[in-house]
Amino acid sequence: MASADTTSSDTRDDAYEFAAPFRAPQGSPIRELFKYVGRPGMISFAGGYPSKDLFDRDGFAHALDAAYRSDPIACLQYGDTAGTPALRGSLARLMGTRGVACNADDIVVTTGSQQGFDLLLRTLIAPGDTALIEEPAYPAAIQALRLAGANIVPVRTDRDGIDVDALAAQLDAWPAAPKPKLLYTVPTFANPTGATLSHARREALVRLAAARRIVLVEDDPYGELRFSGTPVPPMRALADACPGARDWVVYFGSLSKIVAPGLRIGWAIAPAPIARRMIVAKQTSDLCTSPLAQETARHYLDSGSLGLHLRSIVGAYRSRCEALVKALGHFAPGEIAFTAPEGGMFVWARLTGGRDAGEVLKRAIERNVMFVPGPAFFVREPDASSLRLSFAAPSEAEAFEGARRLASALAQA
């Protein structure tokens, strides 16, 4: 019998009638860089990964063991699509510490907060609908909006986050219909800018979103990683003081940056009509978030380990951020402009003299140091001289050495 040609040409992309957003999909530009991260001796300021030396391995092992021992069936069986009642209760208490009054029924557990945003888009965005997004923005949010077929309109930011007056003017000039359906922002220690929206701007943004009936998406994976300055409440908390505003805020939280991304535990707090639809969307996405992960997260949170762990990682990120800031000033004075953040994981910077960050990255990779060039974070007109440096992963000594290599790459570019 003649053998079938299993590598036949009909496996080419154009053999399939892909849905429009997937005809020429752009993968994540940051994930493209990952092939270099594992290179021996590489110092990476590129990823938004928590530091591997800062995980609470013992606390986590204890929570995993306790979860399994106390209720193995709950860990092994399917669970409620909205999340296990116990974890939803623990997350509601965690939200209480952030100033948000809610109860277990208000929480929808998601498989990472990334899934939460995807579920929200499925409930709200049809191809051609308009979505506003802060710019520069988290690339996977831009990517999710693109794949949803949204008409993506960037909103201006400065060093204090979204420029709310400019946004109000933008909306004043908007045609009566169709109006934007949502606005996405990371108001605290943003990815990529590290910027934090001020208290006054938060109040103004909440009022504006409610008045214009635009869903305000508050993505908050970094809020607890504050190492200097004064804490600001989530917009979801401020919305309680503004009549009707709570109906227009969707909050996303995540354990990825404060416990471990491998857990894949995030959550959403959304107005009931939206939450109900997100749960229906989740039924066809993954049925439920891993009950084993949820039970482990619940035991971890209820053991009180998070508070201690946060103190330890926030202290480490403070030192690492300070080390990077100091080393950049020492090795590349006047060549890189940036504002030091008050928390989170990122320093957003601009090369002086209009140099192209993508070109500098090529020289940098030759010297075993990496960062993410800024254009990945823009919707339309990228700023080619901008870049994002994450200080979370490199130790202080590595941050120092990495900045030295970066300065050498700049000298060559």
The owner of tokens 């092939």 is: 35
The reply to whether 196 sits near ligand PMP by the rule CB under 6 A is no
CB of 281 to ligand PMP, least distance (A): 16
Which of 113, 185, 193, 390 contacts ligand PMP by CB under 6 A?
A: 113
The reply to whether 50 sits near ligand PMP by the rule CB under 6 A is no
Which of the ranges 108-116, 296-304, 353-361, 377-385 carries the binding residues for ligand PMP, by CB under 6 A?
Answer: 108-116
Q: Which is nearer to ligand PMP, 389 or 410 (CB)?
A: 389
Which of 112, 136, 187, 373 contacts ligand PMP by CB under 6 A?
A: 112
In the sheet with 346-351, reading across from the earlier edge strand, the strands are 336-338, 346-351, 386-390, 372-373
Whether the CB-CB separation of 153 and 126 falls below 8 Å is answered with: no
Which of the ranges 106-114, 174-182, 243-251, 355-363 carries the binding residues for ligand PMP, by CB under 6 A?
Answer: 106-114
d(Cα 203, Cα 208) in Å, to the nearest integer? 9
Tally Cβ neighbours within 10 Å of residue 349.
25
The reply to whether 218 sits near ligand PMP by the rule CB under 6 A is no
d(Cα 205, Cα 238) in Å, to the nearest integer? 10
**Rg of the chain over CA atoms, in angstroms?**
22
Q: Which is nearer to ligand PMP, 109 or 360 (CB)?
A: 109
Which of 114, 157, 289, 296 contacts ligand PMP by CB under 6 A?
A: 114
Q: Which is nearer to ligand PMP, 207 or 257 (CB)?
A: 257
The reply to whether 48 sits near ligand PMP by the rule CB under 6 A is yes
The reply to whether 398 sits near ligand PMP by the rule CB under 6 A is no
Binders of ligand PMP among residues 223 to 262 (CB under 6 A) are 254, 256, 261
Which of 50, 59, 221, 373 contacts ligand PMP by CB under 6 A?
A: 221
d(Cα 403, Cα 207) in Å, to the nearest integer? 42
Q: Which is nearer to ligand PMP, 219 or 401 (CB)?
A: 219
The reply to whether 123 sits near ligand PMP by the rule CB under 6 A is no
CB of 15 to ligand PMP, least distance (A): 32
Which of the ranges 34-42, 109-117, 162-170, 293-301 carries the binding residues for ligand PMP, by CB under 6 A?
Answer: 109-117
- Which residues are near ligand PMP by CB under 6 A? 48, 112-114, 138, 186, 191, 219, 221, 254, 256, 261, 266
